[in-house]
Amino acid sequence: MTYDLIIPIYNIEDHLDSCLDSILCQTHGDFRALMVDDGSTDHSPLIAQGYAARDPRFIYYRKENGGLSDARNFGLAKVSSAYLLFVDGDDRLRADTLETVEREIDRTPVDILEFNGWIVKNGRRYSSVNTRPLDAGIIKNGRDYLLDNVKNRSLITPVYTKAIRSRLILQHRHLFAKGLLHEDELWTPKLYLLADTVRYINKHLYDYIQREGSITHQKDRSKNARDIKKIYYRLERYYKSLGFTKHQYNILASHLSRQMIRACQISEKEKMTPWDKRFIIRNARDLKSVGKMLLYLTTPRHYPVLSEKVKKIVRYNASTPSSQRSYRNEDSL
């Protein structure tokens, strides 16, 4: 089977060779690497054109700068294979990524095959992208998959951890919102809700390279905060339109409440507004989100420290027998 790999490129000349080499070295060689140059001003175009000149599987496109979402949408318009994957131009695939995807899809065809990856810092694996994998190998419909992973705190929104049936996206015209940072957090939940079948495999097939200067690691993160807040407001409206049961909606709403608290802490310039406060309150539907809401609204400046202390207490109480907790507490008095 042929796979289309959509690779947005923008001013990443120091990292692009590593990414494209990881694709070139795939043990499953039936692919098309759709390299979308989003108006780069460095030597990235020359590097990409060099791969296209040497190997017909690498196809180079150049467009005016429009941002990551626009570059991905451009790539989606060029897709012709049954399945597609997204690869950021400064990341890497594992050598057997496509071979593993091929084997899993041959065994059990699904609309979305999701896998794990490594977060890489300073050349070393730092942690898994998905640290709380749930129900590996089990086929679910997209709605159940979304709800179960939100409830388990294991929702992974980055698009680079997924092999997706192309017609799922093309038939529904499921495109990325142009101009938004963190666009995956809006695009991925909607993708799940379009899918009839989703399966997760707990295999590390992607290296996400964290580097200084990337879009999500800017010093001024005010746009990050504004955009991610917009996404949660949009998701709230979207979820309300889909006819979830009250229990199902409460799961999704509580997640949005907790995420909005996180968004309000991203930037000093973009703190909580009165509208954000109302959003947090009306969407807090379970015990954890209510607790976070009360803690954040009463002590917003000290919330990060207090929240971490509460997490440690909860983890300690969950892992320690009650008799030992009493003994230790008495011993510390």
Instruction: Read off the pLDDT of residues 169-193 as tens digits, 9 standing for 90 and up.
Output: 999 999 999 999 999 999 999 999 9
Write the pLDDT tens digit of every residue in 5-47.
999 999 999 999 999 999 999 999 999 999 999 999 999 999 9
Nearest partner of 161 among 103, 94, 78, judged by Cα: 94
Task: Tell me what pLDDT residue 306 has.
Answer: 78
CB of 181 closer than 8 Å to CB of 92: no
Whether residue 56 is predicted with pLDDT greater than 90 in this model: the reply is yes
Task: Tell me what pLDDT residue 333 has.
Answer: 24
* 320 domain-assigned: no
Query: Angle at CA 160, nearest 5°, toward 159 and 165?
Result: 70
Residue 327 — very low, low, confident or very high, per pLDDT cuts 50/70/90? very low
Write out the residue range of the structural domain in which residue 225 sits. 219-301
What is the spatial distance between Cα 196 and Cα 296, in angstroms, rounded to a whole number? 38
- Do 130 and 202 have their domain in common? yes
More confident residue, 129 or 322: 129
Tokens 């570059």 found at:
71
Query: Under 8 Å CB-to-CB from 285, ≥6 apart: which residues?
Result: 249, 250, 251, 253, 254, 257
CB of 266 closer than 8 Å to CB of 276: no
DSSP 8-class letter at 318: H
| Strand, helix or coil for residue 206 | strand
Distances (CA, A) of 235 to 173, 232, 251: 18, 5, 13
Taken in order 96, 19, 113, 29, is the CA torsion positive or negative? negative
Whether residue 328 is predicted with pLDDT greater than 50 in this model: the reply is no
In a 10 Å sphere around its CB, with 0-12 CB exposed, 13-18 middle and 19+ buried, how is residue 66 labelled? Answer: middle
What is the spatial distance between Cα 196 and Cα 105, in angstroms, rounded to a whole number? 15
Task: Tell me what pLDDT residue 176 has.
Answer: 97
Q: Which of 89-93, 135-139, 257-261, 324-328 has the lowest mean pLDDT?
A: 324-328
Q: What percent of the chain has pLDDT over 90?
A: 84
Query: Under 8 Å CB-to-CB from 165, ≥6 apart: which residues?
Result: 82, 83, 110, 111, 112
CB of 285 closer than 8 Å to CB of 254: yes
Task: Tell me what pLDDT residue 270 has.
Answer: 86
Query: Domain count of the chain?
Result: 2
Task: Tell me what pLDDT residue 332 has.
Answer: 32
Task: Tell me what pLDDT residue 68 has.
Answer: 97
* 211 domain-assigned: yes
- Do 224 and 212 have their domain in common? no
- Do 193 and 258 have their domain in common? no
- Do 190 and 266 have their domain in common? no
Q: Where among 216, 238, 267 does a domain terminate?
A: 216
- Do 246 and 263 have their domain in common? yes
Taken in order 170, 174, 178, 182, is the CA torsion positive or negative? negative
* 22 domain-assigned: yes
Write the pLDDT tens digit of every residue in 254-299.
999 999 999 999 988 888 999 999 999 999 999 999 999 999 999 8
Q: Where among 216, 235, 269 does a domain terminate?
A: 216
What is the spatial distance between Cα 62 and Cα 84, in angstroms, rounded to a whole number? 20
* 281 domain-assigned: yes
- Do 128 and 66 have their domain in common? yes
Write the pLDDT tens digit of every residue in 133-142.
999 999 999 9
- Do 153 and 232 have their domain in common? no
- Do 176 and 284 have their domain in common? no
- Do 226 and 212 have their domain in common? no
